[in-house]
Homo-oligomer: A and B are copies of this chain.
Amino acid sequence: MAKKKGLTPRSEDFSAWYNEVVLQAELADYSPVRGSMVIRPWGYGLWENMQRALDDMFKATGHSNAYFPLLIPMSFIEREKEHVKGFRPELAVVTHAGGKELEEPYVVRPTSETIIYAMYAKWVQSYRDLPLLLNQWGNVMRWELRTRLFLRTAEFLWQEGHTAHASEDEAEAESRLILGIYRRFMEEWMAMPPVTGLKTEAEKFAGAVRSYACEALMQDRKALQAATSHMLGQNFAKQFGLTFQSEEGREEYAWNTSWGASTRLVGGLVMTHGDDAGVVAPPKLAPTQVVVVPIARSDEQAVSVTERARRIAEELTNSGVRVAVDDRRHLSPGAKFFEWERKGVPMRVEIGPRDMERGEVVVASRVVAAGAPRKEAMAEADAVAGIGPRLDDLQEHLRAVALARREEGSVRQEVGSPEELAELLDGGAGFVYSGWSGDPAAEARAKEVAKASIRVIPDEEFRSETPPAQCLGGGKARMEVVWARAY
User: Which residues from chain B contact A128 at a C-beta distance below 8 Å?
Assistant: 1, 328, 330
A15 close to chain B: CB less than 8 A: no
- Of A64-72, A388-396, A476-484, the one contacting chain B is A64-72
Say whether A67 contacts B96, CB under 8 Å: no
In the complex, what's the smallest C-beta–C-beta distance from A23 to chain B, in angstroms? 11
A134 close to chain B: CB less than 8 A: yes
* Between-chain CB contacts (< 8 Å), 10 pairs: A31-B115, A32-B73, A32-B118, A38-B69, A45-B65, A70-B108, A71-B92, A88-B99, A89-B98, A128-B328
Say whether A70 contacts B139, CB under 8 Å: yes
- What string of 1s and 0s marks CB contacts (under 8 Å) between A106-141 and chain B? 101000000100110011011011000010001101
In the complex, what's the smallest C-beta–C-beta distance from A448 to chain B, in angstroms? 24
Say whether A41 contacts B69, CB under 8 Å: no
Say whether B1 contacts A98, CB under 8 Å: no
Query: Which positions in A face B, CB cutoff 8 Å?
Result: 1, 29, 31-33, 36-41, 44-45, 48, 64-73, 76, 88-99, 105-106, 108, 115, 118-119, 122-123, 125-126, 128-129, 134, 138-139, 141, 143, 145, 154-155, 157, 328, 330
The complex places the Cα of A126 from the Cα of B123 at a distance, in Å, of 55
Q: Choose one: B33, B90, B99, B118; the contact of A69 (CB below 8 Å).
A: B33
Say whether B106 contacts A97, CB under 8 Å: no
**Residue from A73, A76, A95, A105 having most chain B Cβ neighbours under 10 A:** A95
The complex places the Cα of A391 from the Cα of B106 at a distance, in Å, of 45
Q: Choose one: B69, B97, B129, B328; the contact of A31 (CB below 8 Å).
A: B69
User: Which residues from chain B contact A129 at a C-beta distance below 8 Å?
Assistant: 1
Say whether B64 contacts A45, CB under 8 Å: yes
User: Which residues from chain B contact A95 at a C-beta distance below 8 Å?
Assistant: 93-96
Say whether A115 contacts B157, CB under 8 Å: no
Q: Choose one: B94, B99, B145; the contact of A98 (CB below 8 Å).
A: B145
The complex places the Cα of A123 from the Cα of B26 at a distance, in Å, of 10
Q: Choose one: B71, B99, B134, B155; the contact of A41 (CB below 8 Å).
A: B134
User: Which residues from chain B contact A67 at a C-beta distance below 8 Å?
Assistant: 38-39, 44, 157
User: Which residues from chain B contact A119 at a C-beta distance below 8 Å?
Assistant: 29, 31, 38
User: Which residues from chain B contact A94 at a C-beta distance below 8 Å?
Assistant: 92-95, 108
Given known contacts A66-B40, A67-B157, A145-B98, A33 and B72 CB-to-CB distance under 8 angstroms: yes
- What is the total number of copies of this protein in its complex? 2
The complex places the Cα of A258 from the Cα of B105 at a distance, in Å, of 32
Q: Which residue of B lies closest to A114 (CB)?
A: B32
User: Which residues from chain B contact A41 at a C-beta distance below 8 Å?
Assistant: 64-66, 134
Say whether A96 contacts B92, CB under 8 Å: yes
In the complex, what's the smallest C-beta–C-beta distance from A388 to chain B, in angstroms? 22
Q: Which residue of B lies closest to A91 (CB)?
A: B97
The complex places the Cα of A48 from the Cα of B72 at a distance, in Å, of 24
**Residue from A38, A95, A129 having most chain B Cβ neighbours under 10 A:** A38
Q: Which residue of B lies closest to A143 (CB)?
A: B98
Sample of 5 further A-B pairs with CB below 8 A, known A92-B96, A94-B94: A39-B67, A44-B64, A70-B155, A92-B97, A139-B139
The complex places the Cα of A304 from the Cα of B60 at a distance, in Å, of 24
The complex places the Cα of A155 from the Cα of B108 at a distance, in Å, of 12
Say whether A69 contacts B36, CB under 8 Å: yes
The complex places the Cα of A128 from the Cα of B96 at a distance, in Å, of 43
Q: Which residue of B lies closest to A116 (CB)?
A: B38
User: Which residues from chain B contact A92 at a C-beta distance below 8 Å?
Assistant: 71, 94, 96-98, 106
The complex places the Cα of A125 from the Cα of B134 at a distance, in Å, of 45
User: Which residues from chain B contact A106 at a C-beta distance below 8 Å?
Assistant: 33, 92
The 6 A-B residue pairs with the shortest CB-CB distance in the complex, in nearest-first order: A98-B143, A41-B64, A36-B69, A39-B67, A92-B97, A93-B96
The complex places the Cα of A233 from the Cα of B212 at a distance, in Å, of 52
User: Which residues from chain B contact A126 at a C-beta distance below 8 Å?
Assistant: 1
Q: Choose one: B44, B76, B93; the contact of A65 (CB below 8 Å).
A: B44
User: Which residues from chain B contact A64 at a C-beta distance below 8 Å?
Assistant: 41, 44-45
User: Which residues from chain B contact A134 at a C-beta distance below 8 Å?
Assistant: 41
User: Which residues from chain B contact A1 at a C-beta distance below 8 Å?
Assistant: 125-126, 128-129
In the complex, what's the smallest C-beta–C-beta distance from A63 to chain B, in angstroms? 9
In the complex, what's the smallest C-beta–C-beta distance from A100 to chain B, in angstroms? 9
In the complex, what's the smallest C-beta–C-beta distance from A324 to chain B, in angstroms? 11
The complex places the Cα of A70 from the Cα of B123 at a distance, in Å, of 30
The complex places the Cα of A36 from the Cα of B48 at a distance, in Å, of 26
